[in-house]
Chain A
Amino acid sequence: MDDTLAQTQRLKAAIHFTTGQICQTIAADCGREFSRQAIAAIAETTFRQCDTFAKDLEAFARHAKRNTINVDDVKLVSRRSTALSTYIQQKSEELASAHQEQKEKRRKNTVKRKHQDTEGDPEQNED
């Protein structure tokens, strides 16, 4: 029980820190100041929002008879607000393309390695 409390405290502290950073960048952009209480309130709201998000994502993944949460579930959570869903759509496409590029790179690397293996390294012949 105490252990879980410490864990949540740690998580909340991390969220609070990140929230502070984001608020600082926004404050620099707008020329406004965030009070400490405001930042703390935003952090707390974020924490509880994460709770609902987690439950929703779990429910959506189970609904599609999966045990793994994937991009479709996240899109479904953000479906309510149009701007957010378009943004997430863009992000997911970017991620997918990056993933594709990485895959191709890896494939090329493996092909190269195979070539080297077939040619036979002179260092390997010493064993």
Chain B
Amino acid sequence: RRRAADPTLPKSYVQNMFKHFAKTQVSKDVYPVVNEILQKYFKRVTEDLEAFASHAKRRTIEKEDVELLMRRQGFLTDRSPVNVLIEKFLPMEYRKLLIPIATSGNKVIPKQ
């Protein structure tokens, strides 16, 4: 059993996400397994990011570390650069943060 102090993603969020991508009926007892896998995934990813940041002689994890990680995971290729994935999967407010030019109607709004 994991400690209760472990930070986790909200249960409903994980379930909804899994249902959305599974495109089929998902039973309730799948959730603990998915959550366990998520925990392991986060652990591994953080170790990788740490290694990449220290490789570039930094102590701060930056955007390029995450891009390198996704490139190694096979999500990023030359055909699908990072911006394409951002546009595909993230909601508008995060897209605005990551790609400053992406606003509705594709108008560039100068910063106030």
Contacts and interface: CB of A to CB of B under 8 A. Distances in A.
Contact of B68 (A59, A65, A72, A79): A59
A79 B51 CA distance: 9
B68 A76 contact: no
Interface residues of B, number: 10
Contacts of A36: none
Contacts, number: 22
B71 interface: yes
A60 B52 CA distance: 8
B57 interface: yes
Given A63-B52, A64-B57, A72-B55, 19 more contacts: A56-B72, A59-B68, A59-B71, A59-B72, A60-B55, A60-B68, A63-B55, A63-B56, A63-B64, A63-B65, A63-B68, A64-B55, A64-B56, A65-B56, A73-B55, A76-B51, A76-B52, A76-B55, A79-B51
